[in-house]
Amino acid sequence: MSLPAPGWTAQDIVAHLRSIGTEENRAGMARFGINNATALGIGNADLRPLARKVKRNHERSLALWDTGIREARLMAAFTGEPKKIAIEECRRWAGDFDSWEIVDTVSDLFVD
């Protein structure tokens, strides 16, 4: 797979995330109270630079959120467009919150 780029789809991003996750990272998340049931094992130190490379895209962020995968949801928050997210989408996402980490990360998108 090539390097991350702005034209990547949600599916491209998820495929890349699946290729870089580790079981060691996944296990470590539980020690910090992060729900790792859907986690691939990628830390935020790796996700944030990836998000900067793929850039913001509202529609793609909605598709990433819908995967239910922890890292894809964080990427959705990092790459969502604050001015385009509707209150109904905020409410739907909030109904899916399952750990403090998701709440903290998504709240930045909601209030930006």
> Structure tokens of 99?
């750990």
pLDDT (average), residues 92-111:
93
Full-model pTM: 0.93
At residue 111, the 3 state secondary structure works out as: helix
Percent of the chain with pLDDT over 70: 96
pLDDT (average), residues 42-66:
96
